[in-house]
Structure 1
Amino acid sequence: MDTKKLRQKILDLAIRGKLVPQDPNDEPASVLLERIQAEKEQLIKNGEIKRSKKSASSDTYPYENVPFEIPESWVWTTIGDISLSILYGVSESAKSEGKYKLLRITDIQNNKVNWDTVPYSDFEDNVQNYILEEGDILFARTGATVGKSYLVNKISISSIYASYLIRVKSSKLVLPAYVKFFFESGFYWEQISMNAVGVGQPNVNGTSLANLRIPLPPYNEQIRIVKESTNWLKRNDILDNDIVELGNAIEHIKSKILDLAIHGKLVPQDPNDEPAIDLLRRINPDFKPCDNAHYKNLPSGWSIC
């Protein structure tokens, strides 16, 4: 069983509205999107965020020629429309000591970070703009890992992020976990492949990231999707581990069977069989028996050559 394909299938169903049932009592995503825009306008008015070029004349929905059909209560939008900010990291050299942890692309492995090995930085220029918070999503914008993402959670030390990462801070009216699942879906990766430029070092910039299309469910359905997806993905991970363990067991058994075979312990011997020494002399009349030191327990009638 291909657990990677199974994982993609789960996420594919999730972002198409086919993993959990829709509830007609949920607030439609179109209304949710209007509330997100109102939230952003208030933050812009308060000077907490800046207006993006796109949001200055935002009219991004409904879309024509949508990539695929979604439930009536959903809406097509973009990462930029549901985000409060999309910000590049800092250009800083890593240090063994410092005031802040400096998270880099290489520190993110399999959706996890070993914070004990993350280096430090003393960066201070508007540092509050770059402090990571739970729910932030980091996006690798260049190199072989372009498109890889990481959802920040349970962070206990002041940390900033390096320049090859872009931080997406979504609206509080959107679950970061849903956006993260979208960032792992096949449809997301199709868009990344189309938007990546460069041969040796492919990259996706902040504008391209902001323009990525995302199907947005009602908020309550986001909660149901995240819960159901998490349960199925946990089962898939368990299955994946079981398959690895089974594969290791099969290899061990295979090795054991072959070991028994070449030591004469897999099948019984027949005293009427021609001894191997006579067989070897028929093949090569000049054959001389080899040292049997490494095979002390071979059956009678066997020979080393």
Structure 2
Amino acid sequence: MIAAQLLTHFDRLADAPDAIPRLRRFILDLAVRGRLVPQDPNDEPASELLKRIAAEKKRMVEAGKVRKPKMIILVNETEIPFMLPTNWRWSQIAEIGLLSPRNETTDDTLASFVPMPMIAADYGEASNHEVRRWGDIKGGYTHFAEGDVGLAKITPCFQNGKSTVFRDLTGGVGSGTTELHVVRPLFVNPNFVLLFLKCPYFIETGIPIMTGTAGQKRVPTEYFAYSPFPLPPLAEQHRIVAKADELMALCDRLEATQAERETTRNRMATASLARLNAPDPDPATFQIHIAFAFNNFTPLTT
């Protein structure tokens, strides 16, 4: 089912039990499989994008801005979880960005501090931050900057989908909980990376390989950095993110409508019960109230 078909049946699908959370997961799944928007043969293929990323990393290493990254091992065909469109490529988070980046700024710089409770679980929900002096938060915490992508690596935050693109950071830099994996994408839309980190495939595949004791299990760096990552052409990444945002906004509106409908239903049920518990002295009116409650029993109670 492509996005157009999904939109056609959106309202009807949303009435099913637990529908909207399942719709959100379905949208994420379509996004990373190349089924949310049509492919454009005129897009620069992902293979060329990977060449530009590699060239930029080489330039940064030669300029002394970053250390030489670990050698990337190509994704083995046996590791490929699903088929991709022809102009996509299987890659890895480590290949498309810089892992665990560090910030350099003065101690008096005002920056953002992000503890785990401020990291959003739902796609489209912005994370919050506190404003602190960089000198107070630069040590002992995970660094990130504007546009970086962070993944909560500890249970139950990983299972709950806690991940974020760091936006609107004070001073453009920040630090936060040590329970984060962070990547700084190069020439890749950070929100597409976020779609992948929140998609059911990535989370469900990662849960069994978490390490540690119960209640303190963590996603290994190797899983975050070197798992197969479906890379679309950059132009398609932008289209996917725009369509995902559109559909998630529809989900938001449907949730609001459902909540309003639920509130109205509860008020009607309460009013009907009140009329039955305190009958109208007029027998004819009381009979009308009984008939209303009887005829609407299912919609009032389900």
> Same-fold call, TM > 0.5?
yes
Contact 2:79 2:228 in 1 (8 A): no
CA distances 1:48-82 after superposition (whole Å, capped 9, x unpaired): 122333x2xx3414734521111011111111111
Identity percentage of aligned residues:
29
Look at both structures and tell me which one has the larger radius of gyration over its CA atoms: 1
Question: 1:194-205 counterparts in 2 under 5 A?
Answer: 194-198=208-212, 199-205=214-220
Does structure 1 residue 192 correspond to structure 2 residue 206? yes
Taking a change above 3 Å as real, the CA distance of residues 184 and 14 of structure 1, as seen in their structure-2 partners, is: same
Residue of structure 1 equivalent to 2:221: 206
Contact 2:137 2:175 in 1 (8 A): no
Unaligned runs of 5+ in 2: 1-14, 285-302
Taking a change above 3 Å as real, the CA distance of residues 120 and 104 of structure 1, as seen in their structure-2 partners, is: farther
Contact 1:3 1:240 in 2 (8 A): yes
TM-score calculated relative to the size of structure 2: 0.75
Does structure 1 residue 103 correspond to structure 2 residue 114? yes
* 1:166 CA displacement: 2.5
Does structure 1 residue 253 correspond to structure 2 residue 264? no
Residue of structure 1 equivalent to 2:21: 4
SS in 1 for 2:151: strand
Aligned residue pairs total: 256
CA distances 1:149-207 after superposition (whole Å, capped 9, x unpaired): 01111223453223122221111x11001111111111111222133123221111323
Unaligned runs of 5+ in 1: 90-96, 271-305
TM-score calculated relative to the size of structure 1: 0.75
Q: How far, CA to CA, are the matches of 2:260 and 2:31 in structure 1?
A: 29
Residue of structure 1 equivalent to 2:38: 21
* 1:211 CA displacement: 1.6
Does structure 1 residue 143 correspond to structure 2 residue 160? no
Contact 1:137 1:169 in 2 (8 A): yes
Taking a change above 3 Å as real, the CA distance of residues 62 and 109 of structure 1, as seen in their structure-2 partners, is: closer
Q: How far, CA to CA, are the matches of 1:145 and 1:87 in structure 2?
A: 22
Q: How far, CA to CA, are the matches of 1:10 and 1:228 in structure 2?
A: 9
Contact 1:88 1:163 in 2 (8 A): no
Contact 1:75 1:216 in 2 (8 A): yes
Question: 1:102-141 counterparts in 2 under 5 A?
Answer: 102-110=113-121, 111-115=125-129, 122-123=135-136, 132-141=144-153
Residue of structure 2 equivalent to 1:292: none
Query: Which residue identity lines up with residue 135 of structure 2 in the other structure?
Result: D
Q: How far, CA to CA, are the matches of 2:170 and 2:21 in structure 1?
A: 31
Higher share of residues assigned helix:
2
Residue of structure 2 equivalent to 1:163: 178
Deviates more, 1:31-40 or 1:255-264: 31-40
Q: How far, CA to CA, are the matches of 2:236 and 2:200 in structure 1?
A: 20
Query: Which residue identity lines up with residue 66 of structure 1 in the other structure?
Result: I
Q: How far, CA to CA, are the matches of 2:196 and 2:137 in structure 1?
A: 33
